[in-house]
């Protein structure tokens, strides 16, 4: 795709300027951004990744927008996604609010740390880290074993914190309990740091932490991740805003598109097979991960 738009930082006053190229007007450009964000929100909702994990590569690779502004728009959309789709998951009984709020302690601290790092890490390095994280997430989701959640009792810490629950299954409510809470909590700090640094909501790491480390059911992991990513994003969005990396003209169509896609995805997820969700999860992030790594190495980011 030809270069459609570049967003650059101008002047000493910290204002943002949008430069339109190839004769494309603002309404047409906004429509393309909206449609791309709609698809990103749909995929992000189905996999628990959040729309940011899709929209950041789309904005940087397809629309050639500076990655810092792409991250800023992504963080705004992640907050909207969490407010929209997560509400539906809570109502359906899939998200575990208690587990989510406990793990948010780690992700919020990590998000602030990651946002602090963003001006101290080169753009191509951010893109490369992003791609590697995505590729590993795909490998872990497909290759690692996924034990049955109903066969284990919670560990001592999970029992004390009451990190257990149930979700609607094929044969009625199915109970589950968290395992290895310290490992999951540590991974959530990493997830928060990546969220602040990359603007992706870090849903990939959150899902893996709950699914692999804490042995939660995949649908509970994905829906609780959607519930959590808004709080994590809000912790770092303020820092991006203060640095002038959030452009309203870009953030608005991204937010509306991702929100619309996430609400649609929330209705599909409750009827989808877990195996199908894992395949979608892996295919999407492998494609995005390879694209980000290649563009980082070749200097196109």
User: Which of 25 and 49 is assigned the larger pLDDT?
Assistant: 49
User: Which pLDDT band, with edges at 50, 70 and 90, does 15 fall under?
Assistant: very low
User: Which pLDDT band, with edges at 50, 70 and 90, does 47 fall under?
Assistant: low
Strand bridging mode 172-177 / 5-10: unpaired
What pLDDT is recorded for position 84?
A: 63
Q: In the predicted model, what is the mean pLDDT of residues 53-62? A: 78
What pLDDT is recorded for position 259?
A: 80
pLDDT, tens digit (0-9, with 9 covering 90-100), for 157-189? 888 888 888 888 767 788 888 888 998 898 888
Sign of CA dihedral 68, 116, 229, 47: positive
What pLDDT is recorded for position 166?
A: 83
Q: In the predicted model, what is the mean pLDDT of residues 206-225? A: 82
* Backbone phi, psi, residue 166, to 5°: -150, 160
Distance CA(103)–CA(118), nearest Å, equals: 23
What pLDDT is recorded for position 44?
A: 72
User: Which pLDDT band, with edges at 50, 70 and 90, does 52 fall under?
Assistant: low
| Domain around 220 | 5-297
Reduced to 3 states, what is the DSSP secondary structure of residue 228?
helix
pLDDT, tens digit (0-9, with 9 covering 90-100), for 86-135? 677 777 778 888 898 899 899 888 878 887 887 777 767 877 877 787 78
Q: What is the percent of the chain where pLDDT is above 70?
A: 75
Reduced to 3 states, what is the DSSP secondary structure of residue 199?
coil
User: Which pLDDT band, with edges at 50, 70 and 90, does 274 fall under?
Assistant: low
Predicted confidence (pLDDT) at residue 24 exceeds the cutoff of 80: no
- How big is the chain by its Cα radius of gyration, in Å? 18
DSSP string, 17-50: EEEE-TT--HHHHHHHHHHHHHHHHHHHHHHTS-
Predicted confidence (pLDDT) at residue 19 exceeds the cutoff of 50: no
What pLDDT is recorded for position 12?
A: 36
* Closest residue by Cα to residue 218 from 280, 274, 154: 274
* Backbone phi, psi, residue 288, to 5°: -70, -40
- Contact of 254 with 32, CB cutoff 8 Å: no
What pLDDT is recorded for position 2?
A: 38
Reduced to 3 states, what is the DSSP secondary structure of residue 103?
helix
Q: In the predicted model, what is the mean pLDDT of residues 35-60? A: 76
Q: In the predicted model, what is the mean pLDDT of residues 124-148? A: 70
SS3 content of the chain, % helix, strand, coil (to 5): 70, 10, 20
Number of domains in the chain: 1
pLDDT, tens digit (0-9, with 9 covering 90-100), for 284-297? 778 777 877 887 78
Q: In the predicted model, what is the mean pLDDT of residues 191-215? A: 74
Q: Which long-range contacts (CB under 8 A, 24 or more apart) does 238-241 make?
A: 239/112, 239/115, 239/116, 239/118, 239/196, 240/68, 240/71, 240/72, 240/75, 240/115, 240/118, 240/199, 241/72
What pLDDT is recorded for position 77?
A: 81
User: Which pLDDT band, with edges at 50, 70 and 90, does 153 fall under?
Assistant: low
pLDDT, tens digit (0-9, with 9 covering 90-100), for 250-273? 888 998 888 888 778 777 876 777
Sign of CA dihedral 46, 47, 53, 57: negative
């Amino acid at each position: 795709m030809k270069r459609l738009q570049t967003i650059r930082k101008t002047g000493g006053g910290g204002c943002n300027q949008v430069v339109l190229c190839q004769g494309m007007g603002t309404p047409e450009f906004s429509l393309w951004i909206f449609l791309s964000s709609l698809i990103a929100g749909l995929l992000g909702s189905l996999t628990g990744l959040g729309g940011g994990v899709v929209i950041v590569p789309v904005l940087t690779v397809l629309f050639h927008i500076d990655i810092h502004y792409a991250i800023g728009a992504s963080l705004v959309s992640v907050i909207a996604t969490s407010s929209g789709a997560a509400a539906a998951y809570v109502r359906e009984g899939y998200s575990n609010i208690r587990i989510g709020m406990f793990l948010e302690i780690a992700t919020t601290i990590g998000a602030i740390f990651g946002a602090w790092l963003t001006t101290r890490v080169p753009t191509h390095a951010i893109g490369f880290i992003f791609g590697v994280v995505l590729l590993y997430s795909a490998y872990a989701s497909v290759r690692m074993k996924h034990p049955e959640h109903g066969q284990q009792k919670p560990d001592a810490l999970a029992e004390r914190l009451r990190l257990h629950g149930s979700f609607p299954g094929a044969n009625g409510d199915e109970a589950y309990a968290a395992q290895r809470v310290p490992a999951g909590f540590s991974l959530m700090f990493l997830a928060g740091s990546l969220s602040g640094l990359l603007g992706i909501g870090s849903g990939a790491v959150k899902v893996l932490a709950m699914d692999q480390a804490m042995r939660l059911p995949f649908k509970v992991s994905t829906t609780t991740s959607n519930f959590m990513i808004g709080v994590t994003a809000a912790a770092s969005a303020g820092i991006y805003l203060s640095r002038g990396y959030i452009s309203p003209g870009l953030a608005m169509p991204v937010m509306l598109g991702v929100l619309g896609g996430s609400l649609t995805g929330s209705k599909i997820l409750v009827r989808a097979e877990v195996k199908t969700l894992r395949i979608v999860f892996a295919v999407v992030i492998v494609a995005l991960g390879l694209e980000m790594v290649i563009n980082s190495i070749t200097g196109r980011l």
